[in-house]
Amino acid sequence: MTENTQNTTGQNTTATRLAGKVAIVTGGGQGVGRGISLGLAESGASVLLVGRTMRKLESVAEEIRAAGGTAECLAGDIVEDGSPELIISTAVERLGGVDILVNNANMAMPLPLSDYPDDDFRKAFEGGPRVTLSLMKLARPEMAKRGGGTIINLATSAAVRWDASNYGVYAAIKEGVRALTRAAAYEWAADGIRALNVAPHAHSPGLDWWMDKNPEEAAEFVASIPAGRVGDPVADIGRPVAWLCSAEASYLSGATIPLDGGQSRWG
């Protein structure tokens, strides 16, 4: 992994709900990850952006800095040996600790079950439950030192929708992560750590590309959302996540929060 250690100095001029907090966001360079990163920074958190492409990470970091926030970037493959340790140590060394961990990165492809290569399934599991748990375990003592923290893991409505064709593996990987979240909410509560799942629908480069290429299917997709639109990554995902990470949500843990305009039905 390569890191950019540029820091923004001066007072944060955005909201102060998360002032003094340090957040890690994997997959922070685009789409939902970008939205969450901006939402957290807008509420006062310093953010370590983690992802594959430094150019994308730096673009988001510049948005944060332009608004008066603090951001660091760390580029590389999260499944590489030593990457989880490097991510946590970078947050501690460059930003002072870990208060919030957002596991957003995903490696599962949309394919029918019968066509899914075994090697790709193993890679999806590595990039999903295994790395997520590694980061959670490494973040736990750092959060405990600071009196607690919040873990946000990303779930998917594909796990509860009837039309989940091609998303079986993706849903299975995310459901594994969801189970880890519920366990952490119980096992680590004594450390002041909360764990939540968020299931978002929002604009991203991948979704926007698909909608442009498949306008009729895209229209049906949007029509299935009671809100009548696809979510905005910052306003509809990032800002709610920032609230979930704040003291105002201190009694909320172990739950799955759908941020999808009412499209899915979680039991």
Rounded Cα distance between 196 and 252, Å, is 8
Overall average pLDDT of the 5-24 stretch: 68
pLDDT at residue 11 is higher than 60: no
Query: C-alpha dihedral over 135, 208, 110, 233, to 10 degrees?
Result: 30
82: left (phi over 0), alpha (psi -120 to 50) or beta: left
The number of beta carbons lying within 10 Å of the beta carbon of residue 55 is 10
Mean pLDDT of the chain: 92
Q: Which pLDDT value is given to residue 1? A: 66
What confidence category does residue 15 fall into, taking pLDDT thresholds of 50, 70 and 90?
A: confident
What is the helix (H) or strand (E) element at residue 218, kind and residue range? helix 215-223
Q: How does DSSP classify residue 202? A: B
Is residue 167 part of the annotated active site? The answer reads: no
Q: In terms of Cα–Cα distance, which of 20, 146, 232 is closest to 240? A: 232
The mean pLDDT value for 2-8 works out to 51
User: 2-259 belongs to which CATH class?
Assistant: alpha beta
- Res 48: pLDDT: 99
pLDDT computed for residue 204 by the predictor: 87
- HSE-up of residue 225 (Cα within 13 Å, Cβ side): 17
216, with CB counted inside 10 A (0-12, 13-18, 19+), is exposed
**Res. 2 pLDDT band, cuts 50 70 90:** low
Say what the pLDDT of residue 12 is: 36
What is the number of other CB atoms lying within 10 angstroms of the CB of residue 92? 16
Residue 127: pLDDT over 50: yes
Average pLDDT of span 204-225: 88
The pLDDT > 90 percentage for the chain reads: 78
Token output for 202: 């929002």
Residue 26 has pLDDT above 90, yes or no: yes
Which tens digits make up the pLDDT trace of 233-256? 999 999 999 999 999 999 999 999
Query: For 158-214, how does the pLDDT look when each residue is reduced to its tens digit (9 = 90+)?
Result: 888 766 788 899 999 999 999 999 999 999 999 999 999 999 999 988 889 888 988
Per-residue pLDDT, 221: 86
**Domain ranges across the chain:** 2-259
Give the pLDDT band of residue 267 (cuts 50, 70, 90). Answer: low
What's the confidence (pLDDT) of residue 249?
98
Q: What is the pLDDT of residues 48-99, one digit of tens each?
A: 999 999 999 999 999 999 999 999 999 999 999 899 999 999 999 999 999 9
The one-letter code for the residue type at 254 is: G
Question: How confident is the model at residue 106, as a pLDDT?
Answer: 84
d(CA 238, CA 243): 9
Closest CA to 36 of 225, 236, 178: 236
